[in-house]
A = this chain, B = another copy of it.
Amino acid sequence: MFNYTGTYTDKYQLTMSQVYFLKGQKDTKAVFDYFFRKLPFNGGYAIFAGLEDLLTTLEVLRFDDQDLDYLKKQGFHPDFIRYLEKFRFTGNVYCSTEGDLVFPVRPVLQIEANIIEAQIIETLLLNILNFQTLIATKASRMRHAAGERSLVDFGLRRAQGPGGYYASRAAYIGGFNSTSNVRAGRDYDIPVSGTMAHSFVESFDDELAAFTNFAEVQPNDCVLVVDTYDTLKSGLPNAITVAKKMEEKGLRLDGIRLDSGDLSYLAKESRKRLDAAGLEYVKISVSNQLDEYIIKSLLDQQAPIDAFGVGTSLTTGHPDAALDGVYKLSYANGKPRIKLSENVSKITLPHKKQVFRIVDSDGKFFGADAVTMNDEKDVDVMYHPVYPLKSLSLIKYIKEPMLHIVMENGLRLNNPESLTDIAEYSRNRLENLPEEFKRFDNPHIYKVGISNKLQIERDRLIDEFKK
């Protein structure tokens, strides 16, 4: 993990906090909502990820000596520096389960804390959750395209610095099988895997010698990269030679990797020639600028591919590169709070809230979440947040509350979830989402509505401002 300290934040968080502190507002209670406004990749859902990393970090977040020295030099008030010396996060976290499907506008997570604590952690929280949610969602789309075939994260080299470390974690939640990233494997217990590089082949005087040496040392999980010089004329014949030699010793070549050229054509040709040599068991893996669309296209073309190695587009969440998650004040100092905007869809939802997922009697998600005030135990009708006449009766559906308290007074209420459990939970939840929300082109729009009580409160606050 990056060694997060208190200064992993925007300067204005500290400037504002100092004002709160010096104006006697340090114990003011506030509620902030974390939500995003737009689904990434023009998709139909997002996978919530990053929560365990956030909670782990919040428990230990402190201003260290370097932080305090630096802030002194920056001119912060000595009394405020003394407050920061003892800073720790002592608030509550209410949130969706990591790995669950989440949708725009409705709160994914709420922080309830002293306003200074809530403000200082904002940047960190957004930084962790926005990115991992983006990548878990991207990975999930690739999983959707790849079916049951193996997906391997190759992205560290093109990742945005140590973003790649967290991307490997999020990719596993979103459905990847393994990563090439050894450090992420070590720390998050993700299966690690890898093949060989062109440089290995080139460092020997001929390709066959390179393959033979590799297979001798690495007889298990042996995957040979066959496109260093010429895939069909050189790489594949040499791989077949090595595979047959391995058979003599009772060993089996695990696979070949294609990393350039027409992957569909080369996979088909390779499959034919491997099969003709009695090597039906040798798997074909491919890499080279893959994304969910190319994976889908290769499989639509019936390319006999067993594994996909995906790099750049996975770990950078290309083409979006960011989730537009925000953190908005909804309650402070005993009163609900609201941000107005010319753009009505940007007006925030006041108050501490709950979110209910609408579920059919067969357990499938109906395709709607309803946002209510925190104290509403049920919701019979939900309204469109902007058009009050658009409403939906919810009486006949099951309603699952989505926001659960996971941290109270700065302490976690449960043991950390293992990454495997989070990934499995995510897979199960995704199975309940109807297929039309998963397609890449114009997916069905998941509805997010608000309760009558919340709507009335919001309108009241808007009217209050008008006066």
For A193, give the chain B residue with the smallest CB separation.
B11
Beta-carbon contact of A10 and B156 below 8 Å: yes
Contact B115 A12 (CB under 8 A): no
Partner of A11, one of B8, B15, B192: B192
Nearest CB in chain B to that of A178: its residue? B11
Question: Which of A91-99, A198-206, A242-250 participates in binding chain B?
Answer: A198-206
Known: A157-B127, A203-B332, A321-B321. A183 touches B8 (CB 8 A): yes
* B122 lies within 8 A of A157 (CB): yes
Are A74 and B156 closer than 8 Å at their CB atoms? no
CB of B324 within 8 A of CB of A321, answer: no
Cross-interface CB contact of A186 among B7, B10, B130, cutoff 8 Å:
B7
Copies in the complex: 2
Complex Cα spacing A324 to B288, Å? 11
A159-167, A354-362, A368-376, A447-455: which lies at the B interface?
Answer: A159-167
Interface string of A219-246 (1 = CB under 8 A from B): 0000000011110000000000000000
| A163 shortest CB reach to chain B, Å | 3
**What class of interface size applies to chain A in its complex with B?**
35 or more
Q: Is the CB of B161 within 8 A of A10?
A: no
20 extra A-B contacts, CB within 8 A, seeds A2-B161, A158-B325, A260-B346: A2-B165, A7-B185, A10-B194, A11-B194, A23-B217, A127-B158, A130-B157, A131-B160, A131-B161, A160-B167, A161-B162, A161-B166, A161-B167, A198-B328, A199-B329, A229-B340, A260-B342, A312-B324, A318-B320, A321-B321
Interface residues of A (CB under 8 A from B): 2-3, 5, 7-16, 18-20, 22-23, 25, 28, 30, 32, 66-67, 70-71, 74, 115, 119, 122-123, 126-128, 130-132, 154, 156-167, 180-183, 185-186, 192-200, 202-203, 205, 213-214, 216-218, 227-230, 260-261, 312, 316-325, 327-329, 332-333, 335, 337-343, 346, 465
